[in-house]
Chains A and B, each alone.
Chain A
Amino acid sequence: MKQGLAVRKESGAVWFLYALPALIVYAAFMAYPVINSLRLSFFSGKGYVLDNFVGFGNYVRLFTDPETSTRFFTAFRNTWVFFAIQMAVQNTLGLAFALILAGKGFRGKGLFRTIIFIPVTLSVLVTGYIWKLILNPQWGALNIVLTNIGLGNLALPWLGDPHTALGAISLVSSWQWVGLPTMMFLAGLERISEDLFEAAEIDGAGGWLIFVKIKLPLLLPIIGIVSVLTFVGNFNAFDVVYAMEGANGPPAYATDLMGTFFYRTGIAGQHPVGIPDLGLGAAVATTTFLVLFAGILLANRLTGERPEKKRGREAVQ
C-alpha cells in the first residue's frame, strides 16, 4: 500500500514531462493563435500590419454598422439553422441506424455499418461536387428522377433558391457525416448489459418502453458528446458550403455561415477588390469562438453531468 502511494506520487511529476511535447505543440499551434486572434480583434491597420489600437471598434462595427451587422446576423442565424437541421436529421438518423444495427438477429450488420460509414471517409470537396452535380437543374439526377416519376413540379433549382439552398446543403452534410453518430451510438448500445433488456422483457416491457426507459437514459452521455461535436463542427462549418455554393453565401446570402462570412472579411476580402479587413475578421473569429465556448459549457451542463449523481437521483425517484 505504501509502495503504491510512492509510485503514484512520482508519476505525478513524470506525467507532466510526458505531456510537455503535446503541451508545446498545443500552445504554439492552438493557444497562441487563438489568443493572438483575440488580441488582433482590437486593432486595425493597413493590409497585414495591424498597429492601430481601436479598442472595441471592430466589434462596434460588426454589431452596429448597417451593412456589416446585417451580414453578420444573417450568417449567425443561418449557422444556427444549419446546426439545427443537422442535429435533428443527422443525429436522429444516426440513432435510428444504430438501433437497427444493434437489433438482435439483424443480418449483414458489418456490410451496412460500412455502407453508412463510407461517406465519412470521403473528402468534403468530392462529396460537395458530386451532390452539386446531382442537384444541377439541367442535368442533375435528382430532378431527372423527379420529372420521370411525374413530380416535375418538385424539380426545383435546389441550390439557387433561398428557401431550399441551406436545407439542401445541411442534408448533404448530414448524409456525409451520419456514420459518425451511428458508430458512437452503436458502441454505446453494445455496452448496455443484456440483463437489463431481459429483466425488462420479463416485466412485460415492449420495444418502445425499453428504448425510452433503458436505452435512451444510458445513451445520454453519448448524446451529449455527439451534440457537442455536431455543435462545434457546424459552428466552424465552411468546407461544404464553399464546395457547393462558394464563399459569398448565394443565393441572396441564404447560405452565408459564420465560416464563409469570416473567410470573406478576414481572409479573401470581397470580390473583386479582394483586400481583407483583418481586424474585423479577427472580431468575427473571436465572436465565433465565444459562441462555441458558451455552447460547450451549456451542453456539458445539460448532458455531461456526473453520471453517479444522476443515477442516484433516478434511484430516489
Chain B
Amino acid sequence: MKKRGSIPILIGLAMAALLPLTTAAQAKVEFTLGSWRADDVAQMTQLLAAFNQKYPNIVIKFDPTNPPDYNAALHLQLQSGIGPDLMYARSYDTGRALFKEGYFLDVSDLPGLKKQYSELARAPWTDEKGRSFAIPFAAVSHGVYYNKDIFAAQGLSVPTTWEGFLDVCQKLKDAGITPLANGLADQWDINEVVLMNIAPNFLGGPEGRLAYESGKTPFNDAKMVSLFQAMKDIAPYCPKGFEALTYNDENAIFANGKAAMYFDGSWTMASFKDLPFNWSVFAPPPPAGKKGYVTFHPDSGIAINPASKHIDAAKTFLEWLYSDEAAPIVASDVPTGFFPIAANAAPIPDVHANEFLQMTKSHPTDVRFVWPHLMTGNPSGYNLLQDNAIAVMTGKESPKQAADAVASGLAQWYKPIK
C-alpha cells in the first residue's frame, strides 16, 4: 500500500535512457555530480565553473538531493543504473558498503592522490584492503560557540578545563543567563555535536577509540562512564524545557543572545554570519590533567560511478580538484563551515572559519567516535550513545547504567577489529 513510488521511477528510467542520446552528439562531455549538500548549490556551481574555464570541454552539473534521502535515493539510482557520474561519498561504513557493491570506482591509482592526502586523511574513504574509493573533499569541525559580549559583561574567560567550563556555566546561571542553548528534541544533535564533540577528551582521542574498537577496553569502562557523567553535568545548564527544544530552536536561542554558549558543528557558522553581537568558538575543554582534542570529522568525499561513460573526464576533474592550481579556488568556494582536507589546502578567507581551523592547529584531532566501525549493526553504536545520553540527561539512567547499556547493546553484534 505504501509502495507507490514505482511510477516516477519508471519515468525517470525512461528519461535517463534518452539522456545519452542527447549528450553523445556533442564533442564536449556533460555529466552530473550528485550530492546531499542541497545548501551548497551556489558555491559548488562557482567551483565547477572555474573547472570549466580550464577544461571547456567538460561541463559538470551539481545535482544535490534532499540530505535525509541521499543514501537511499543514491542506492536506488545506482541499482537502477541511473546514478550520477560523480557523487559525494559518505565516509567510513556507509561509503564502504557502496564500494563493496561495486558502485564506486577504485581511485587508488589517481596520480598525486597519495601526495596530497595523508594516509589518515584517506582512511575514511579506504576499504580494509587499503583501496581508495573516493577522494577526500571536505571535513567539518566541532566546538563551543560563545557569545563574547556576555562573557565580557560577566567578566568570564574561555575555560581550559572541563571543571572550569562547568564553573563558567554555574556563574552564568547564577547571573540569570542560560549557559547553554542545546536541547534534546531532534536527538541527532545532542549525539553528534555535543556528545561526540566532547568524547575524544574523555575517551582519550584516536588511541582511546582504537582501544575500544579492538576490544582492549570494554565499552563500559570508567572513561565511558565519565563521558556520560559529563553529559549529566551539563543538563542543568541547558535552557528550561530543553527536552523539547529542536535544533532550530537552539540555533535561534543562541542567535538571539538568550544563551551564552552553544555546542555545535562548524557548518552553522554560515547562519551566524550577521549576528548583532560578537561571537567566537573554543575547543571543548578536557578534564583537568587530560589532553584536549577537537573532533574534526571527514564528511564528504567524491567518488566516480564505474558505470559512467565519462570516467576519464571524471578523473580529470578529481585530479584538478586537489591540484595546487585549484587549491585557492577550492578554499574560497568550499561552503562556509566546511574545510578542505588536501595537504596543499589554501587559507580560507572567513574569520570564523579560521577560528575553527586555529583549534585544529593547536589540538590533536579525532573523528566522531562511532563513525569508523560502530555504525552498521543493530542496535548501532550511534543509537546507543544517543538514546543513553538522552536517558542520562533526563535523569532516567545513571552514567554507569548508560555505559553498561552501550556495552551490552554493542555486544549483540560488534566483533572487535584486529
Residues of A within 8 A of B (CB): 29-30, 33-34, 36-37, 46-49, 65-68, 135-138, 143, 155-161, 245-246, 248, 250-252, 262, 266-276, 285, 289
CB <8 Å contact, B1 and A37: yes
Known: A47-B76, A273-B93, A275-B71. A34 touches B243 (CB 8 A): no
A121 shortest CB reach to chain B, Å = 24
Q: How far is the CA of A48 from the CA of B412 in the complex (A)?
A: 26
Known: A47-B76, A250-B187, A272-B188. A160 touches B2 (CB 8 A): no
Query: Residue on B with the closest CB to A158?
Result: B244
Q: How far is the CA of A1 from the CA of B258 in the complex (A)?
A: 84
B247 shortest CB reach to chain A, Å = 10
Note all chain B residues with C-beta closer than 8 A to A270: 378, 380, 382-383
CB <8 Å contact, B394 and A138: no
Q: How far is the CA of A252 from the CA of B185 in the complex (A)?
A: 10
Q: How far is the CA of A274 from the CA of B69 in the complex (A)?
A: 8
Note all chain A residues with C-beta closer than 8 A to B68: 268, 271, 274
CB <8 Å contact, A251 and B390: yes
The answer to whether B154 has its CB under 8 Å from any CB of chain A is no
Residues of B within 8 A of A (CB): 1-4, 68-72, 75-76, 79-80, 93-94, 97, 101, 183-188, 239-245, 249, 253, 258, 375-376, 378-380, 382-383, 387, 390-391, 394, 396, 409, 412
7 residue pairs A–B, Cβ–Cβ below 8 Å: A37-B2, A47-B75, A48-B76, A138-B240, A157-B245, A160-B184, A285-B2
Note all chain A residues with C-beta closer than 8 A to B188: 271-272
Q: How far is the CA of A37 from the CA of B379 in the complex (A)?
A: 25
CB <8 Å contact, A29 and B4: yes
The 6 A-B residue pairs with the shortest CB-CB distance in the complex, in nearest-first order: A137-B241, A160-B243, A160-B244, A157-B244, A157-B241, A274-B71
CB <8 Å contact, B380 and A137: no
Q: How far is the CA of A37 from the CA of B3 in the complex (A)?
A: 8
Candidate in A37, A270, A272 with the most chain B CB atoms within 10 angstroms: A272
Q: Name B243's contact: one of A36, A161, A268 (CB within 8 Å).
A: A161
Q: How far is the CA of A135 from the CA of B243 in the complex (A)?
A: 12
Known: A160-B245, A275-B97. A36 touches B3 (CB 8 A): yes
Known: A47-B79, A251-B390. A67 touches B1 (CB 8 A): no
CB <8 Å contact, A136 and B249: yes
The A/B interface has a contact count, at CB < 8 Å, of 129
Query: Residue on A with the closest CB to B378?
Result: A67
CB <8 Å contact, A251 and B243: yes
CB <8 Å contact, A137 and B387: no
Note all chain A residues with C-beta closer than 8 A to B375: 272-273
Q: Name A138's contact: one of B186, B249, B376 (CB within 8 Å).
A: B249
Q: How far is the CA of A135 from the CA of B75 in the complex (A)?
A: 38
CB <8 Å contact, A161 and B1: no
A254 shortest CB reach to chain B, Å = 11
Query: Residue on B with the closest CB to A31?
Result: B1
B407 shortest CB reach to chain A, Å = 15
Q: How far is the CA of A94 from the CA of B244 in the complex (A)?
A: 30
Note all chain A residues with C-beta closer than 8 A to B249: 136, 138
B252 shortest CB reach to chain A, Å = 9
Q: How far is the CA of A246 from the CA of B183 in the complex (A)?
A: 15
CB <8 Å contact, B380 and A138: no
Known: A137-B241, A272-B382, A273-B71. A49 touches B79 (CB 8 A): yes
Q: How far is the CA of A250 from the CA of B382 in the complex (A)?
A: 15
Q: Name A275's contact: one of B3, B75, B394 (CB within 8 Å).
A: B75
Query: Residue on B with the closest CB to A263?
Result: B2
Q: How far is the CA of A65 from the CA of B412 in the complex (A)?
A: 10
Known: A67-B378, A272-B382. A248 touches B187 (CB 8 A): yes
Q: How far is the CA of A138 from the CA of B396 in the complex (A)?
A: 23
